[in-house]
Amino acid sequence: MTVTATRTPEAPARGARHLHFPSAFTVLFVVTVSVWLLAFVVPTGRYALDADGRPVPGSYTTVDAGLSFLDRLHQLFLAPVNGLYGVKSTETGFIGPYEVGELFGAAGVFLFVLAIGVFITMTMRSGAIDAGIGRLGARLGGRGAPLIVVLMVLFSLAGTTEGMAEETLGFYALVVPLVLSLGYDRLTAASIVLLGAGIGTLASTVNPFATGAASGAADISIGDGIGLRLVMYVVLTAVVIGYVLRYARRVEQDPTRSLVGFLPEDAAVVDRQEGALELTGRRKAVLALVAATFAFMIFAIVPWAQVVNGPDAASYGFQLDWYFPELAALFIVMAVVVGLVGGLGEQTLSATISQGAGDYVAAGIIIVLARGVTVIMSNSQITDTVLSSLEGAVSGKSSAVFGGLMFLVNIPLAFLIPSSSGHATLAMPVLAPLGDFAGVSRAVVVTAFQSASGWMNLFTPTSAVVMGGLALAKVSYGAYLRFLAPLLGLLLVLITAFVALGAVLS
């Protein structure tokens, strides 16, 4: 096929000033200091707790926290440390690194983030992912629609199970020429990757960075609410794939209708052989191990008895009820197995483990910093005060209205904190108990949170995944927004309806 240059993407005006939104680290630092300062003026108080440790609606009373200025300064100084491995004292109720009692820190989640980073990096280093997609493209060559569907389903599965985000940046070099060769434009290629993984993350089923982090902070199993999330995943993924297909067919039939046009070098990109890696026996084995690992993770964390027979059902004999420590061990072990099967060798395997953990340290630190904020709120005894102020807002509201409100209030938080895990760790300890007041399952609150986070992260300029992906695909942000705007409105309506329905049925 011959690709004709029709126009180039929009270029920023010469001398234009670019505004840069602060990183998630800066936002969380500001939030930490702001919460610490607010703790000086916000009244302190507590709810009475039921047998399950959840607040009893209407039982809020004011108390004296008994903290001096030096005590509060000490809290601020130790917030990141307490966020990592703090434990709650059974005697005082305060959280600190050297007390004995209930584990409150994010160490388990932090280590799990590093472990899955090692696993993903090892898989990419083996070449199995690139080779698999290359083989897929060869088999479906000349049939654009099936290729778009298959690729978006694969990316969405990665999003819904492991929150594929930064990892997508490695696929543009393969997907862009493949899509151009089929007669589509660069916006189609970017949408396949961005929206494929993005809609999967929005409708996360067992994504540890969104569903897992939020469920842990809400004190529920990661499998709670998986039925609603599965339905959302199927419906919303179908809607997004249909939207991308509609645009791709329009460009194929009339290239002048492309929102981004074609670059002069696109013809050369199509003609150039990308040298896709061969799908050897080793790489086939690695792909099988990756599929088996994620399948086992799903089996290990889902409370099958409760999913099948209701929340009060007794556990099956084969139910594992694994959580972050076990899952971290699983991915570390399987990363080594993948490296050995992929024939990486001892030196490459060791270097890849270090690189994979290092690449994901930032995500882990965000979780730790966010957990530190909740520690400050808890030790200052203002968390229950915030809940009390919101209790009146949700009391008397129907379940459907409550579900919709939970989705909407999380949207601005998602803009401020693009990291879904950081957002979850910060917001869930405050938002999840509101479901108790409204008679709605905490799993619905988790679903509302991750839907808002996923919706915002489809387009937010604070996301390195969005801006980096568009840069790699050579698509302007303005063109992407024009393409995406109708879909965002449709998703907003559908998600609100799903969460409202889930709240009614919970």
The C-alpha atoms of residue 60 and residue 178 are separated, in whole angstroms, by 60
What is the end-to-end Cα distance of the chain in Å, rounded?
Answer: 53
**Mean predicted confidence (pLDDT) in 275-296:** 83
> Which pLDDT value is given to residue 220?
85
> Is residue 291 domain-resident?
no
Structural domain includes residue 6: no
- Judged against a pLDDT cut of 90, whether residue 250 lies above it is answered with yes
Instruction: Indicate the burial class of 54 (C-beta count within 10 angstroms; 0-12, 13-18, 19 or more).
Output: middle
How many domains are there within the chain?
Answer: 1
Residue 494 lies in a domain: yes
Q: Which residues, other chains included, contact 482 with Cβ-Cβ below 8 Å and sequence gap of 6+?
A: 259
Whether the CB-CB separation of 192 and 150 falls below 8 Å is answered with: no
pLDDT at 11: 44
Average pLDDT, the chain: 80
Task: State both tokens at 111.
Answer: 């280590």
Q: Best-predicted range by mean pLDDT among 187-191, 281-285, 301-305?
A: 187-191
Query: pLDDT digit string (tens) for 433-490?
Result: 888 878 899 999 999 999 999 999 999 876 768 877 888 888 988 899 999 999 999 9
Within a domain: 332: no
- pLDDT at position 8 is 44
Instruction: Give the span between the Cα atoms of 175 and 147, in whole angstroms.
Output: 10
Q: Give the pair of three-digit tokens for residue 409.
A: 């209030």
Report strand pairing: 87-89 vs 95-96: antiparallel
Let me know if residue 310 belongs to a domain: no
Phi, psi of 418 (to 5 degrees): -60, -25
Closest C-alpha to 86, from 376, 289, 340, 366: 376
Looking at the DSSP assignment, which residues form a beta bridge with residue 62? 45
pTM above 0.85, yes or no: no
- Asked if residue 18 belongs to a domain, the reply is no
- Residue 432, pLDDT above cutoff 90: no
137 vs 369: which has the higher pLDDT: 369
Q: Which two tokens stand for residue 476?
A: 């302007």
Indicate whether 297 belongs to any domain.
no
What is the residue range of 480's domain? 24-105+128-276+360-505
> Do the Cβ atoms of 250 and 257 come closer than 8 Å?
yes
Determine the Cα–Cα distance for residues 206 and 298; give it in Å rounded to an integer: 7
Examine residue 29 and state whether it is found in any structural domain, yes or no.
yes
**Contact status, residue 203 vs residue 160, Cβ threshold 8 Å:** yes
Q: Which carries the bigger pLDDT value, residue 118 or residue 244?
A: 244
Q: Do residues 467 and 461 touch, judged by C-beta distance below 8 A?
A: yes
Read off the pLDDT of residues 89-115 as tens digits, 9 standing for 90 and up: 655 667 776 555 556 667 777 888 788
**Is the separation of the CB atoms in 110 and 370 below 8 Å?**
no
Q: What is the pLDDT of residue 15?
A: 47
Nearest to 462 by CA among 15, 24, 14: 24
